[in-house]
Structure 1
């Protein structure tokens, strides 16, 4: 097996490995040049990245990759564009079939649904289809996620639909649960928290029951405690298990980043990227039309 075909390899690892070899620099010299830029990275981490054993995920690691592109004389984004989106931090978790959960143990989710009084939510998730989804993420001064406000229009595929079950991933056991505030056409019902796995399940009760073909618009905010605020790893995205007609994503920054881009992946298609420019208020937005299944998000440096 050649170096470029080793088990667990990735495009990021292959390009990083070949770029380091082409530069003629040892990992110690790469580390020294990064440190001169104020970016401390261990030789062990660099070795793991180029071997494919691990990939950069934390905000500090993503910044190190951007500096690596400069050290290795690569184009901006040449390495960053090969990294898949990190595990969601603070994005509402999609309700998936039991065999398709990737963000946390399925047994933890099932136990949480039982506690919130919705043990059959996974089987019933098709009864409300999201038609339009609008997320607005507020990034705090420390780079963490201050809050997310979501506005969603649902269409019922069965009669007597009166609630939406929200499952929220805090971003790990160390991050505390957010404060849920119902803003429009709904109220917060039962809420249960799994501190071990960093999960919250909450009912959003509609102000009226809707029947097949009818729609309902709700709006709510998930606010995190801080500072420090939970780390969002310089990205925010949603994974859509079914098509959505419109998804609008806004990111509002306390401190404007140097670079922003939107990205999307659908099925086995290669990732699509497009650079974004900050608006006059220090934020960016991206929109997806008739999208999914797939992942759509925004990243920044």
Structure 2
């Protein structure tokens, strides 16, 4: 297997080889079904360089299953939770975008060595509230964060936000409590925004600081979020509260968490206000999120 191979790419490549269809023929079949997908995208999917994430791409996979004579869901079930919009990453956590692009962006906000520096702010508590519009896109994400300092004179936090590629415009950043927005830089090619949130006051070792900010997307239509929202924690977090508020109630909601090789899921019930929430205590490293259908 190639280094980038996944269960999805292996199954897709095997099915394509068994069908005897070229990628050009497959693209023509998809086009005939009203699904425009490039040959390059199909090549990336079967090689594992990329995975289908957008709703249009997932629709293409459903048609591929039919064209290739597979059972409904046989390929889709092999896809991990897609990278959602609204996934805010702290500092040096480049997972789905080029490191060099991130380095250039951080240099523009005055943090050229952020990837190599040791973290001096630990995450004590994090509360995300994500609003999903009636069209299924993400309208906004509000975060309330409590930091604990491990060194004196800490006065800012660097936010790196993945807003979904070149096709999706950057969100608007609003500092709500105990901070203000400093330099904000945008990389339209890679769909990244980097910003510094400057604390109202510097904090010293052992002190805590609470900030709150909102990222708001333009719409409607609002950016697709692939029916999921999650955070990837590279270090433990004492408490993480995730809320999803829906304008249109989904059929089903569930929370999921991945740590190491284990994954746990649990169904969630909508509350009277049309939302769901999930809580993680002493969690990480790992992924914690909510999905819906």
> Do 2:37 and 2:60's aligned partners in 1 also have CA atoms closer than 8 Å?
no
Aligned residue for 1:274? Answer: 266
CA–CA separation in structure 1 for the residues paired with 2:101 and 2:60:
34
Unpaired segments of 5 or more residues in structure 2?
Answer: 16-32
More helix by share: 1
TM-score, scaled to structure 2: 0.79
Deviations 1:32-64 (A, max 9, x none): xxxxxxx9779999x99x978675422355578
Answer yes or no: is 1:57 the counterpart of 2:50: no
CA–CA separation in structure 1 for the residues paired with 2:38 and 2:173:
40
| 3-state SS, counterpart of residue 278 of structure 1 | coil
TM-score, scaled to structure 1: 0.77
Answer yes or no: is 1:234 the counterpart of 2:230: no
- Kindly report which structure 2 residues correspond to 1:178-193, keeping only aligned pairs within 5 A, or say none: 178-193=171-186
Unpaired segments of 5 or more residues in structure 1?
Answer: 21-38
Aligned residue for 2:19? Answer: none
Equivalent in 275, 286, 291 of residue 278 of structure 2: 286
Deviation for aligned residue 1:104: 1.1
Aligned residue for 2:164? Answer: 171
| 3-state SS, counterpart of residue 273 of structure 2 | coil
- Kindly report which structure 2 residues correspond to 1:216-235, keeping only aligned pairs within 5 A, or say none: 216-235=209-228
Deviation for aligned residue 1:270: 2.3
Deviation for aligned residue 1:197: 1.3
Deviation for aligned residue 1:201: 1.1
Answer yes or no: is 1:137 the counterpart of 2:130: yes
CA–CA separation in structure 2 for the residues paired with 1:106 and 1:43:
27
CA–CA separation in structure 1 for the residues paired with 2:127 and 2:181:
19
Change (3 A) 1:188 1:223: same
| 3-state SS, counterpart of residue 119 of structure 2 | helix
> Do 1:286 and 1:298's aligned partners in 2 also have CA atoms closer than 8 Å?
yes
Deviation for aligned residue 1:120: 2.1
CA–CA separation in structure 2 for the residues paired with 1:173 and 1:163:
28
Aligned residue for 1:89? Answer: 85
| 3-state SS, counterpart of residue 83 of structure 2 | coil
Aligned residue for 1:299? Answer: 291
| 3-state SS, counterpart of residue 147 of structure 1 | strand
CA–CA separation in structure 2 for the residues paired with 1:40 and 1:283:
34
Answer yes or no: is 1:243 the counterpart of 2:239: no
Kindly report structure 1 stretches of 4+ aligned residues shifted beyond 3 Å. Answer: 5-18, 39-45, 50-56, 60-68, 77-82
Deviation for aligned residue 1:79: 7.5
Cα RMSD of the aligned pairs, angstroms, is 3.5
Change (3 A) 1:255 1:209: same
Deviations 1:110-149 (A, max 9, x none): 1111111111222335100111111011111111110000
CA–CA separation in structure 1 for the residues paired with 2:84 and 2:176:
24
> Do 2:133 and 2:246's aligned partners in 1 also have CA atoms closer than 8 Å?
yes
Change (3 A) 1:52 1:200: closer
CA–CA separation in structure 2 for the residues paired with 1:78 and 1:136:
33
> Do 1:137 and 1:251's aligned partners in 2 also have CA atoms closer than 8 Å?
yes
Change (3 A) 1:234 1:62: farther
> Do 2:90 and 2:158's aligned partners in 1 also have CA atoms closer than 8 Å?
no
